[in-house]
Amino acid sequence: MRTVGVEEELLLVDARGAASPVAPLLLADAPAAGAGPVVSAEIQQEMIETQTRPQESMTALLSDIVAGRTLADDLARGHSARAVAVAMSPLRLRPHATSDPRYDSMMDRYGLTARGTLVCGCHVHVAIASREEGVAVLDRIRTWLPVLLALTANSPFAGGVDTGHASYRFVAWHQWQSAGPTDLFGSVDAYDRFESILVDTGVILDKGMLYLDARLSHKQPTIEVRVADVCLDARDTVVLAAIVRALVEEAAAEWRAGVPPTPMPSAALRLAEWQAALTGVSGRLPHPQTGLAGTAADAVSALLAHTRPQLELAGDLALVRRGVARILRTGGGAGRQRAAFARRGRMRDVVEAAVAATHERTEDDDGDDRDAA
């Protein structure tokens, strides 16, 4: 069975719920890398990244995700802060850049895009047997990525206002030059040429700035799916990871069987992603197989039908069904943030509820105790 690993970017907030630039202090206190999850710096000091180990079991992956969140939060508490899984700060903020030669270069070259952008995503890594398989997978999962964005949308508020989007992180993140979907590659040579052409323009610093929705990892033999917001609920992160693994398995099987990928233009995928970011699971969304106008609920149903064989083989079908039903019922992270705001109309309540939801118990059950956050 393929292994799966997750990177989560978490926002650091103070007692008022405002973003707090304490990441350097947290990392100075962090234990040396050992057998469990680790934490690392990100481009802004108000955020920190957690990384799980590669896992085959979704139960083990959930334990690692929770352990990573707990580690980050314990370190934050030591500096009067908390770690919270929201994709943008609901309150106003002024980011502080992390001191690092590469980040310094980005701040110098890219102006407010670099200095002012603070977004928290979730990156899922799934093991691949070869780069050839990896490129074939990229070509075959691309039409499903807008549905993953809809399921994970968790940034309705930014800078003290309701943005009208379920994922405003998508809007902010796509200020970067290379963010977004890609056209079909067809071969490793074509993928490598694509990377080289973009780097050779001189507009981006290096291959690390290829901020594609999904890409071949440059550090390990994995597909890296980067389209999602960080999930408020750790259980939703596991649902995302299970679906991504199933998509990779199904795509690899189609490639071996000679099934061609869907020839959807990247411009159409960008429109689908924009719509997913606007309304999440509660509105409209082009169908991932036909590209025709439809509802997010229908797109999610198509995703579950497409991945069901692989989810069954992995033993993840029940977990994913429960998780998707929970997301559809609550509106996911975006719906839960808006529900917290609706009670008293206070952004601070949104942050407090999100902190609680980030760290509440994570048993995969059908109860509603966490859904009220």
Where is pLDDT greater, at 125 or 364? Answer: 125
Q: What residues pair up with 48 in beta bridges, in sequence order?
A: 10, 41
What whole-number distance in Å separates Cα of residue 143 and Cα of residue 321?
A: 21
DSSP string, 174-238: TTSTT-B------SHHHHHHHHHHHHHTSSSSSGGG--BSEEE-SSSSEEEEEEEEPPSSHHHHH
Q: What is the three-class DSSP state of 143?
A: helix
Helix axes 347-359, 58-77, angle to 10 degrees: 130
Per-residue pLDDT band for 32 (boundaries 50, 70, 90) equals confident
pLDDT recorded at residue 320: 98
Q: What is the three-class DSSP state of 226?
A: strand
Q: Is residue 134 part of a domain?
A: yes
* Digit-coded pLDDT (tens) for 180-199: 999 999 999 999 999 999 99
Cα three-residue angle 104-154-65, rounded to 5 degrees: 75
What whole-number distance in Å separates Cα of residue 267 and Cα of residue 226?
A: 18
Q: Is residue 294 part of a domain?
A: yes
Q: What residues pair up with 236 in beta bridges, in sequence order?
A: none
Q: Is residue 39 part of a domain?
A: no
Q: Is residue 8 part of a domain?
A: no
Residue 367 has pLDDT above 50, yes or no: no
pLDDT recorded at residue 325: 98
pLDDT recorded at residue 361: 75
Global confidence as pTM: 0.96
Q: What is the three-class DSSP state of 182?
A: coil
Q: Is residue 206 part of a domain?
A: yes
Q: Is residue 270 part of a domain?
A: yes
pLDDT recorded at residue 35: 80
Is residue 2 within 8 Å of residue 310, measured between CB atoms?
no
What whole-number distance in Å separates Cα of residue 164 and Cα of residue 171?
A: 11
Per-residue pLDDT band for 364 (boundaries 50, 70, 90) equals low
Q: What is the CATH number of the domain that holds 343?
A: 3.30.590.20
Q: Is residue 10 part of a domain?
A: no
Number of structural domains (the chain) is 1
Q: Is residue 7 part of a domain?
A: no
Q: Do β-strands 4-13 and 47-51 pair in parallel, antiparallel, or remain unpaired?
A: antiparallel
User: What region, left, alpha or beta, does residue 70 occupy, with left being phi > 0 and alpha being psi -120 to 50 degrees?
Assistant: alpha
The three state secondary structure string of 252-305 is HHHHHHCCCCCCCCHHHHHHHHHHHHHHHHHCECCCCCCCCCCEHHHHHHHHHH
* Digit-coded pLDDT (tens) for 210-219: 999 999 999 9
Q: Give the residue from 123, 104, 160 showing the smallest Cα distance to 49.
A: 123
Q: Which domain holds residue 321?
A: 98-115+123-359
Distance of CA 149 to the CA centre of its chain: 8
What whole-number distance in Å separates Cα of residue 79 and Cα of residue 142?
A: 41
Please provide the distance, in angstroms rounded to a whole number, between the alpha carbons at the two ends of the chain: 34
Burial 324-334 (b: 16+ CB within 10 A, else e): bebbbebbbbb
Tally the C-alpha atoms within 13 A of residue 231's C-alpha that lie toward its C-beta: 30
Cα three-residue angle 309-315-320, rounded to 5 degrees: 80
Residue with tokens 């075959």: 140
Q: What is the mean pLDDT of residues 263-278?
A: 98
